[in-house]
Amino acid sequence: MLIKTHSDGFLHPASSEITPQRVYAGRRDMVKLMASGVAGVALATWAGREAMAQGSGKLAPLVGAKSAVAGATVTEKLTPYKDATTYNNFYEFGTDKADPAQNAGTLKTTPWTVEIEGLVKKPAKYTLEDLLKLAPMEERIYRLRCVEGWSMVIPWVGYSLSALIKAVEPTSGAKFVEFVTLADSKTMPFVGSRVLQWPYVEGLRMDEAMHPLALLTFGMYGEVLPNQSGAPVRMVLPWKYGFKSGKSIVKIRFTDKQPATAWNKAAANEYGFYSNVNPNVDHPRWSQATERRIGEDGLFAKKRKTLMFNGYEAQVGQLYAGLDLQKNF
Ligand code: MTE
């Protein structure tokens, strides 16, 4: 995000194929795993899947029931799969928007474990299979607003992070949740570059992490996540700027101290801990009042107004009652 972009302010995806052959080949194990039935619970069909966009058609299906959580589904037009999976930020694979789709084929997602540690009564190492079975899969259509000024509308598949938090029983001392993501220099060519300190770390206050909209995410567009989107498991926090949603999570740590997060460490005056979408607080180098919808709004289209908390104020506003949002940006 600190990276210089083209003169129009955006980096454009290459017209390359969404899932190159080698990426596909590298994911066969995952596909087998899903087909073997461990994800059986997740494959329940949702009858009225009207406005469903197509996935790649190459990845294992991962379908969720329509979520009953308030605000979990917006009715705006979905961003085409191709745009959502070729215009990405995943700096471990490069800083150009097209890099993750081109380079993330090397990411090895099986076997995968997520370690739960810190201030919990039941620390554990969850395999991906365990996580897939922990709670019923839901489909949620969320807006995602990037701090760079673009947004997308994506049908994610997962369940509320709160289900996992309840299972591990945090102690009363646990005030924050830290998400540590994979940093494997053998498979991630940009780990080691000096853009950020690796691993990419993110964090939430405990009440934010417990909010039902905070989604532990395994899939999108009715399929498992493609590598470039943070396979096999990532967070999606629709009321916060996209960088709070860590990809390819390997550790979730419960702490009594506010975690030092990757972008905050890189530029504390530009990227605060909260990073709630807020059209009234500009980034020091650009306005946050408007946004461009990827795949819909051309470069010369009138920009859309950015909404407070990205449009989720009714759901999450209470979490920040009394907090000075100018200071706590
Ligand atoms: N997670 C990791 N591990 N590494 C990253 O570089 N980029 C973040 C976030 N999660 C990032 C990450 C940023 S800046 C954004 S906007 C979102 O992922 C992008 O998610 P998307 O590519 O699915 O749109």
Residue 111 has pLDDT above 90, yes or no: yes
The rounded Å distance from CA 121 to ligand 1 centre is 30
Q: Which amino acid is at 123?
A: P
Whose C-alpha lies nearest to ligand 1, atom 4? 90
Structure tokens at 318: 């209470």
Q: Is the pLDDT of residue 16 over 90?
A: no
| 220-235 pLDDT per residue, tens | 999 999 999 999 999 9
Ligand 1 atom 16 nearest Cα: 242
Are 295 and 80 in contact by the 8 Å Cβ rule? The answer is yes
Beta-strand pair 113-118/249-255: parallel
Q: What is the predicted pLDDT for the residue at 237?
A: 99
Q: How far apart are CA 128 and CA 111, in angstroms?
A: 8
Distance of CA 187 from the midpoint of ligand 1 (Å): 17
Please tell me the distance between residue 48's alpha carbon and the centre of ligand 1 in angstroms.
Answer: 31
Average pLDDT over residues 91-107: 98
Decide if pLDDT at 29 tops 90: no
Beta-carbon-side half-sphere exposure of residue 98 (alpha carbons within 13 Å)? 11
Ligand 1: residues with CB < 6 A are 1, 88-92, 144, 146, 181, 200, 229, 242-243, 245-248
pLDDT of 130 higher than 50: yes
Please give the single-letter amino acid code of residue 227. N
What confidence category does residue 32 fall into, taking pLDDT thresholds of 50, 70 and 90? low
pLDDT of residue 53: 66
pLDDT in tens, 248-273: 999 999 999 999 999 999 999 999 99
For residues 191-203, give the mean pLDDT: 96
Q: CA 218 to CA 38: how far, in whole Å?
A: 14
Quick: pLDDT tens for 36-91: 544 444 443 443 344 456 899 999 999 999 999 999 999 999 999 999 999 999 99
Which residue, by CA, sits nearest to atom 5 of ligand 1? Answer: 90
Q: How many whole angstroms from its chain centre is CA 289?
A: 22
Pocket test for ligand 1, best of 90, 107, 151, 198 (most atoms within 8 A of CB): 90
Tokens 């979905």 found at: 78
pLDDT tier at 182 (50, 70, 90 boundaries)? very high
Measure 245 CA to ligand 1 centroid, in angstroms.
6
Given a cut of 50, is residue 299 above it in pLDDT?
yes
What's the pLDDT band for 300 if we cut at 50, 70, 90?
A: confident
Q: Around 104, how many Cα atoms within 13 Å sit in the side-chain half-sphere?
A: 33
As a whole number of angstroms, the distance between CA 138 and CA 136 comes to 6
Closest protein CA for atom 24 of ligand 1: 88
Among 3, 247, 292, say which to mutate for ligand 1: greatest number of ligand atoms within 8 Å of CB: 247
CATH number of 2-320: 3.90.420.10
Among 25-34, 39-48, 165-174, 281-290, the range scoring the smallest mean pLDDT is 39-48
Give nearest CA residue, ligand 1 atom 11: 90
- Only one residue has tokens 């259509």, namely 141
Residue boundaries of the structural domains of the chain: 2-320
Find the 224 Cα to ligand 1 centroid distance in Å: 17
Is the dihedral angle over the CA atoms 79, 87, 307, 315 positive or is it negative? positive
Phi–psi pair at 114, nearest 5 degrees: -120, 120
| Average pLDDT taken over every residue of the chain | 89
- 3-state class of 54 per DSSP? coil
Nearest ligand 1 atom to alpha carbon 91:
6
Ligand 1, atom 9: closest residue by C-alpha: 243
Cα separation, 323 vs 47, whole angstroms: 42
